[in-house]
């Protein structure tokens, strides 16, 4: 069963390769779809959709991010499945 979440991540998450690392991480999973986007300086928004186990693992990674990142705030809310999502991309 697919689930979807929208996450907001704040901290040192812009200018440190967070979005590109998220793309790489999502590529490790077979069902992850969605996007990662800079919203503001020090803030990233991520839509993660897929099978529960893979989404949970992706959310755990997003809480930490790549080695140069520092996540100070992580919030996520469950969303309705978006049938238009076909891959995981940078927006």
Kindly give the residue spans of alpha helices, DSSP state H, lying in 12-71. Answer: 18-26, 52-62
Quick: pLDDT tens for 4-36.
999 999 999 999 999 999 999 999 999 999 999
**Strand pairing report for 33-40 and 88-90:** parallel
19 is catalytic: yes
Q: Are 48 and 5 in contact (CB under 8 A)?
A: yes
Task: List domains and CATH numbers for the chain.
Answer: 2-90 (3.30.70.100)
Options 10, 12, 38, 70, the catalytic residue? 38
pTM as predicted = 0.94
Options 10, 19, 52, 70, the catalytic residue? 19
User: Of all helices (H) and strands (E), which one includes residue 46?
Assistant: strand 43-51
Cα distance between residue 10 and residue 66, in whole Å: 14
Cα distance between residue 78 and residue 76, in whole Å: 7
38 is catalytic: yes
For residue 52, name the pLDDT band (cuts at 50, 70, 90).
very high
């Amino acid at each position: 069963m697919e689930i979807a979440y929208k996450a907001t991540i704040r901290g040192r998450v812009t200018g440190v390769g967070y979005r590109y690392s998220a793309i790489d991480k999502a590529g490790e999973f077979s069902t992850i779809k969605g996007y990662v986007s800079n919203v503001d300086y020090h803030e990233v928004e991520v839509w993660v959709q897929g099978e529960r186990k893979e989404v949970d693992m992706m959310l755990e990674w997003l809480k930490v991010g790549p080695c140069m990142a520092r996540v100070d705030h992580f919030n996520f809310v469950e969303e309705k499945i978006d049938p238009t999502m076909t891959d995981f991309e940078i927006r």
